[in-house]
Amino acid sequence: MSSSEEPQKESELEKLRIPIQDIIAFANTLDERYREKCFEVLLNFYLHKNTISTSATTEAVNVPRAASAGTPPALPLPIRAFLNQNEIPVDTVGKLFLMENGEVVPVYKIKELKKAVAQIQLAMLSALRNALIDPATMFEFSIKDVRELCKEHDVYDTANFTAIFRKKGDLFRDLTSDEEHVKLTPDGKTELAETIVAVSKQ
C-alpha cells in the first residue's frame, strides 16, 4: 500500500515543479529585499487557487477553445497574484484587452484629456499587455511602443514626451539605460493598479 502511495506523492510534487520554477523566475526579477516575500505570496496564491482535481483539469485542457466561448483564458499566475494583492477583480483585465490564441489586443479607450497623465496610463497598460503576452516581460515596456500608442490615442506631446517620463522617474527603473525594457518600480506597480481600475471604468 505504501509503495503505491509513494509514486502518487512523487507525481503530485512533480506537478508543482513548473509553477514553482515560474514563481522563482518572477521573484528573481524583483529587488532582493522583496524576493522572499513575493515567493511566499505567489506560492500561497497558487496553492489556494489550484485545488481542482487532476481529472477536472485534464478535462478542461481537452475542451476545444470554441466550446468554451465566453470564458476568458486563464491569466498568468503572477498577474493573478498582482490583481489579488491590489483587490482588482480578474475580469477587469477583460475590459481592457481581448485575449485569444496567445494574442492580446487592446480594447480600452483613453479618455484622459491631460496628455502627461494619458502618456503614463499608456505606459502602464503597455507593461500589462507585455506581461499578458509573456510573463518573462512582467511589468516592463518599450519607450518606442508607448510613443506609438500616444500617437494612436492622439495624446502625443512631442515637446515634452521624454520630460514626462523623467518627471515621473520614481515609477520606472532602467529609464535612461534601456529604453526597450523599462521596468516598473514598486511605486510603478501601484500606479499600474490605479490605471487598470481608472481606465476599465471609462
Grid cell, residue 32, equals 532582493
Q: How many whole angstroms separate alpha carbon 142 and alpha carbon 135?
A: 15
Q: How many whole angstroms separate alpha carbon 184 and alpha carbon 146?
A: 14
Q: What is the pLDDT of residues 71-93, one digit of tens each?
A: 556 788 888 999 999 999 999 99
**Burial of 26 from C-beta contacts in 10 A (0-12 / 13-18 / 19+):** buried
Tell me, what amino acid is at 140?
E
> What value does the mean pLDDT take over residues 115-132?
95
- Global confidence as pTM: 0.65
Predicted local confidence at residue 165, as pLDDT: 93
Q: What is the pLDDT of residues 39-58, one digit of tens each?
A: 777 777 777 666 543 334 43
Cβ-based neighbour number of residue 132 at 10 Å: 21
Q: Give yes or no for residue 98 having a pLDDT over 50.
A: yes
> Under a CB-based contact definition with an 8 Å cutoff, are residues 28 and 35 in contact?
yes
